[in-house]
Amino acid sequence: MRKGVVILLMLFFGAGLLQAESHLMRFADVSHDYIVFTYENDLWLAPITGGKAKRITRSDGREIFAKFSPDGSKIAFTANYDGGNDVYVMNRDGSEPRRLTFHPASDLVIDWYPDGKHILFRSRREWPYRADKLYKISIDGGMPEKVNVDRAGLAALSPDGKKLAYNRISREFRNWKRYEGGMAQDIWVGTMARGDYRPITRFRGTDNFPMWHESGLYFTSDSIDGTMNLYHYDFKTKQFTQLTHYNDYDVKYPSLGPDHIIFQYAESLYLLDLNTRQIKPVPIEMPSDRTLVREFLLEKPENYVYTFALSPKGKRALLNIRGEIVNMPTDEGVTYHLTPNSSDSREKNAIWSPDGQWIAFFSDKTGEEELYLVRPTGGKWKQITKNGFAFRTNPKWSPNSKYIIFHDKFMRLNLVDVATGKITVVDQGEYDDAWYDWGIQTYNWSPDSRWIAYSKLEQSLYPSIFLYNVETGERFRVTDSFTKDWSPSFSPDGKYLYFLSNRTFKPIMGFVDQNHIFLNMTRPYILILKKGDPSPFAPKNDWDDEDADESESRADNVVITTEDFAARIIPAPVKAGNLFRLEAIDDGLLYLKKTENEFLKYQFVDDENRATNLELHRFSLKDQKDETLMEGIGQYHLSADKKRLIYRAGTRFGVVDLGKAKVGDGALNFKDVTLIIDKLDEFKQIFAEAWRIQRDWFYDKNMHGLNWQKVRESYEKFVPLCGTRGDLNYLIGEMIAELNAGHTYVYGGDLEHGKSVRCGLLGADFVMENGFPKIARIVHGDNSSEALSSPFEQPGCPIKVGDYILGIDGLKLKKNANLYQYLQNKAGKVVEILYNNSPTVEGAKTYLVKTLNSEYQLRYDEWVQKNAAYVEAKSKGQIGYVHLPNMMEDGLIQFAKRFYPQYYKKAIIIDARYNGGGFTSKMIHDRLERTINSYVQPREGKPTPVPERTFGGHMALIINRDTGSDGELFSEAWKYRYKDRPIIGQRTWGGAVGIEPHQKLVDGGVTTPPQFGEYNAKGEWIIEGHGVDPTIPVVNWPKDVLAGKDAQLDKTIDVLLKMIKEKPVREFPRPKYPDKSKPAWK
């Protein structure tokens, strides 16, 4: 008996110990006696032998990348205690943390210098901002010094502090395993004083986390089977040795101590003994109260509303709040929580049946999204559909409350018989425009529940209107594929079908080139359902015996003539504009209107739209008048009786009678919404949904050959071990990284945040001399542009290079202080600068300048101007220069500003290095592909080409490892569009499968499925996982970059000059004027 008790006790305590040891511990470091790591966003200290850990930091933000000093007495780490991600140092026990950096850029601790007095960190403070640079800072504070290396991410100092091993590329936080694209990390080694860095690894995949120990280098690599393992490189023998042999989970975040390397494998920490090379786990007990993952009462529930609707008569509001369904009064009454305490499932898209008896919604409680019913006051759910698979959304009740229609990820419009659960596919789309329009998304019921009107995207990439007869199953085309037609809605009397259509073509020419666009194309249109019925706008002739049939309703028996639809479609007399979301009402219709133009043509309005830039309009058939009912909203819905509406304006909601109103009227009060969120249950749901999102939308249904269910199981078991929402994003990232694809992002959610304090910037580089910051260089700007104005270059500013900054706003700088410490909370503000040409306040003067919020645009523009001037000078004016920072608005702006004014050059360089991608590459190619047809010769002056500003010379493209996404599609297209135009530089990133997030995670987080793969005419998938190869490879070596040289740009200039010489640009001489005179008048 006692033996049995002992065994039971051992099992009990053993299980407890194992549970205590299971945590998701990250970013660890090790000293002789201790380990430090991050858990719950805080730093913890534990003996090197394991055991009970002690929390040594606590803040609302996050502390990461802790590193012991060489003697183990101090810890350097990155934290956002005070408003930025900065470098801190403290005693080993967590006492006396001191902030060392204050610049607004994020600073990540990398290593200690061997002297124990300085810390190495990385930051992005200068252009190019896609590249990290290394800095050295004293533990006593002051201004950091830039390390003599052109760009570097992860790094390790040699034992004597004179050499550096590092990764030139920073991508260790990317969700892309087994990556072999242009940004694959290699380890470079060189002497800092000489800058003679060269790579020592040349494996096609990833080699990172260098750790220098004695005469060798430890690092991680996925060179064997795609799993990151530890390796050792011997500088003397140049031999590589594999030290770990995992084939499932990667070795993560290794860090070197005096005698060990500590690393994360799966959820636990392990030690590699440097002498024996033996590996053992570190058993950690974590005495945590787990406050960050405990149940909590949701504050500000209005911030988490996803969909919203009204009861049939508009007396109550129905909201989907953070995955729960809430039925709340519009004025007074009880708030019903219809799906309480269900954080482990997500309920969404709640709608109230027109008869008032049921509320329908989707839930993933079975693991898949199924349709359920529940009574308006709550109670037991009734499952309607079964065996669902994939994303479902936007259900709509039939007016007789017998049917529901919804669409799904397979682009099907589904009809559900509520009584039986039988699903009938109404129709299925075949096209997705790679933005918001895919399949069948807008649809509505006829008032007699016998007809469904819907829009389906067609091969023209315009949606067309169709009708479906519920009784017969017949489909009828209403509009053709030559126009964009959507948002159908039947009139309540059953006589008309209203819809929106882009049929107003009024071209607008741009001011930069001969091109045009079409804006404000949308109007409401009316289909007269029955042949022979007159137009609602037909001329009237009042008479005593007016035919009573004109006003007779057909709501109970809608009659549709199913032929010759086009002849019965008429426009409503409404001014064309940018319109959305049409809904029929008695005697007319409602629609949303956007009055301000936006860059994107892909605009979409749904319940999550938090914008406040839409107007709600009502058009009356009888009066033929269009009036604005509301302004400043983002979305609306009508009650079933069409007497009331609910609106959204940002995170404000209100219910008003149909008529004129303003935002704030009928405001909903969320004070009685009481939602208890179980964080860990919610984490499980979020993880499962993130997995389903990739399963449902990843461009390859075979998931690149992965057993996707096995991948889920491999990471899902760690979800209960998460200490923060950030840990969950990490796990999701690890899971989706297994897909071996770019654009697999996960971000956001209900993350834990620290403070945010904005630091002012001065547009200058500083060096510390005589204990005070001295201006080493002023970033050159352009005072004609507010965005490019450099503070010290303002007209009349006396502050110049060589001056010392001695005080800010009356506060004198302490000796050896960090200048940015005095610019905290001063971003974009006017400050008083105390300055002098010597480091003394005697004779110092003051001057007012306005600080910058960011130096990004200023430093970028200076770099572009410098390159352009260099090209101009070296080519003696023959070659132009254009840089494309991305394929978005900024890229188009740069192209317009620099390409057209240089169209007459003999050659042009298109520089796509550091291009961040987007989607506008095709627009730019449309311009570059133009050829000169002829020339126009005015009576006076010189001839100009036709088409206007068409370039007729030589071109070359520069790319590098930081060219990504649509920048790569631009580069790939360059190859087959311009056979004689070289591409110079390095292989690009290798991510070309496009993304379209379809649904946010329940707490606002996002994971992006790479959904749109591109292949070429040969039937080959392009770019993904490899990148675009240059036709002329050129590397910008670190030593050259440090010396101010740009080998890629130099090579491009040389190539173009040679092309100009060997194949001069063709000139079209003016012909002799014709003689058309008659002989007598010569």
Q: What is the CATH number of the domain that holds 97?
A: 2.120.10.60
Give me the count of residues in the chain. Answer: 1082
Among 198-212, 530-544, 612-626, 1024-1038, the range scoring the smallest mean pLDDT is: 530-544
Specify the number of domains making up the chain. Answer: 4
Whether residue 868 is predicted with pLDDT greater than 50 in this model: the reply is: yes
- Mean pLDDT for 778-800 is 95
Instruction: Confirm whether 1080 is domain-assigned.
Output: no
The first and second tokens of residue 438, run together, are 């895919």
Domain stop point among 240, 272, 288: 288
Whether residue 15 is predicted with pLDDT greater than 80 in this model: the reply is: no
CB 925 within 8 A of CB 895: no
Q: Is 111 in the same domain as 252?
A: yes
- More confident of the two residues 21 and 848: 848
- Mean pLDDT for 253-277 is 97
pLDDT of residue 298: 95
Whether 743 is a known active-site residue: answer: yes
Among 13-22, 124-133, 381-390, 842-851, the range scoring the smallest mean pLDDT is: 13-22
* Nearest residue to 442 via CA among 497, 499, 403: 499
Q: Is 878 in the same domain as 957?
A: yes
**Mean of per-residue pLDDT scores for the chain:** 94
Q: Is 785 in the same domain as 882?
A: no
What kind and span of H or E run contains 233? strand 229-234
Calpha distance 187→206 (Å, rounded): 9
Q: Is 715 in the same domain as 863?
A: no
- More confident of the two residues 43 and 17: 43
The first and second tokens of residue 1056, run together, are 């173009």
Ramachandran sector of residue 219 (left: φ over 0; alpha: ψ -120 to 50; beta: rest):
beta
Q: Is 117 in the same domain as 219?
A: yes
Instruction: Confirm whether 560 is domain-assigned.
Output: no
State the pTM of this model.
0.95
Instruction: Confirm whether 899 is domain-assigned.
Output: yes
Whether residue 605 is predicted with pLDDT greater than 60 in this model: the reply is: yes
Q: How confident is the model at residue 19 (pLDDT cuts 50, 70, 90)?
A: very low
pLDDT of residue 373: 98
pLDDT of residue 9: 33
Handedness of CA 561, 566, 570, 575 (dihedral sign): positive
pLDDT of residue 1067: 82
**515 class by beta-carbon count within 10 Å (0-12 exposed, 13-18 middle, 19+ buried):** middle
pLDDT digits (tens, 9 = 90+) for 197-241: 999 998 889 999 999 999 899 999 999 889 999 999 999 999 999
Reduced to 3 states (helix: H, G, I; strand: E, B; else coil), residue 757 is coil
Q: What is the CATH number of the domain that holds 967?
A: 3.90.226.10
pLDDT digits (tens, 9 = 90+) for 706-729: 999 999 999 999 999 999 999 999
Q: Is 22 in the same domain as 142?
A: yes
Domain stop point among 829, 852, 875: 852
Q: Which of 337, 743, 883, 954 is catalytic?
A: 743
Instruction: Confirm whether 231 is domain-assigned.
Output: yes
- Mean pLDDT for 615-624 is 96
pLDDT of residue 1068: 85
Q: Which of 363, 455, 965, 971 is catalytic?
A: 965
Angle at 406 between CA 998 and CA 384, to 5 degrees: 115
pLDDT of residue 18: 34
Q: What is the CATH number of the domain that holds 718?
A: 3.30.750.44
Q: What is the CATH number of the domain that holds 773?
A: 2.30.42.10
DSSP letter at 993 equals -
Whether residue 414 is predicted with pLDDT greater than 70 in this model: the reply is: yes
Domain stop point among 288, 303, 328: 288
- Mean pLDDT for 932-950 is 93
Instruction: Confirm whether 776 is domain-assigned.
Output: yes
Q: Is 792 in the same domain as 899?
A: no
pLDDT of residue 550: 54
Q: How confident is the model at residue 436 (pLDDT cuts 50, 70, 90)?
A: confident
How far, CA to CA in Å, does 405 sit from each of 95, 398, 409, 796?
Answer: 62, 8, 14, 68
Q: Is 726 in the same domain as 776?
A: no
Give the phi and the psi of residue 959 in degrees, each rounded to 5.
-130, 160
Q: Is 13 in the same domain as 29?
A: yes
Asked whether the bond before 128 is cis by omega within 30 degrees of 0, the reply is: yes
pLDDT of residue 16: 34
Whether 954 is a known active-site residue: answer: no
Q: How confident is the model at residue 10 (pLDDT cuts 50, 70, 90)?
A: very low
Instruction: Confirm whether 179 is domain-assigned.
Output: yes
Give the phi and the psi of residue 317 in degrees, each rounded to 5.
-110, 145
Q: How confident is the model at residue 17 (pLDDT cuts 50, 70, 90)?
A: very low
**Beta bridge mates, 79:** 63, 86
Q: Is 14 in the same domain as 57?
A: yes
Q: Domain range spanning residue 51?
A: 2-288
Which residues, including other chains, have CB under 8 Å from residue 866's CB and lie 6 or more apart?
none
Q: How confident is the model at residue 8 (pLDDT cuts 50, 70, 90)?
A: very low
Instruction: Confirm whether 556 is domain-assigned.
Output: no
Q: Is 66 in the same domain as 115?
A: yes
Whether residue 602 is predicted with pLDDT greater than 90 in this model: the reply is: no
Q: Which residue has the tokens 């654009």?
A: 743
Among 712-716, 754-758, 869-873, the range scoring the smallest mean pLDDT is: 754-758
Whether 1024 is a known active-site residue: answer: yes
The first and second tokens of residue 916, run together, are 């961040």
pLDDT of residue 202: 86
Instruction: Confirm whether 416 is domain-assigned.
Output: no
Provide, rounded to the nearest whole percent, the portion of the chain with pLDDT above 70: 97
Q: Is 96 in the same domain as 201?
A: yes
Whether residue 11 is predicted with pLDDT greater than 90 in this model: the reply is: no
Whether residue 629 is predicted with pLDDT greater than 60 in this model: the reply is: yes
Sheet holding 305-310, edge to edge: 305-310, 316-321, 324-329, 336-337
pLDDT digits (tens, 9 = 90+) for 329-379: 999 999 999 998 789 999 999 999 999 999 999 999 999 999 999 999 999
CB 364 within 8 A of CB 688: yes
